[in-house]
Amino acid sequence: MAPPKKPPQRKNPRDVGKRATAHPKSPAGDGGPGRFSPKKPLQYDPDLNNPHPHADSPAGRYASPADQSRGPSVPPPPAFDVGAAMAAKAKELIGQRVIGDGECYAMVDLMLQEIHGKTASDFSKRIGPDDDYKWGTPIKNSEVQPGDVLQIRNSEVVLNIKISYQGKQVDRSKYPGKETSTTMERGHHTAVIIAVNPDGSLQVAEQHVLDDSRKRLSGTIRQNTFPLKDVSTTETRKFTSNNIEIVETTTRTWKVVKGTIWAYRPVEKK
pLDDT digits (tens, 9 = 90+) for 3-25: 556 666 655 554 545 445 555 55
Cα distance from N-terminal residue to C-terminal residue, the chain: 96
User: Structure pTM?
Assistant: 0.70
Alpha helices by DSSP H, listed for the chain, are 65-69, 82-93, 104-114, 120-123
Residue 149 and residue 190 in contact, taking contact as beta carbons nearer than 8 Å: yes
Residue 205 and residue 90 in contact, taking contact as beta carbons nearer than 8 Å: yes
Q: pLDDT value at position 235?
A: 96
Across residues 110-125, what is the average pLDDT? Answer: 96
Q: What is residue 27's DSSP assignment?
A: G
Each residue of 148-158: pLDDT tens digit?
A: 999 999 999 99
- Strand, coil or helix: 77: coil
Q: Per-domain residue ranges for the chain?
A: 82-265
Q: What percent of the chain has pLDDT over 90?
A: 62
Listed in sequence order, the residues at least 6 apart from 69 whose beta carbon sits closer than 8 Å to its beta carbon are none
Listed in sequence order, the residues at least 6 apart from 147 whose beta carbon sits closer than 8 Å to its beta carbon are 82, 83, 84, 85, 86, 87, 90, 192, 193, 265, 266
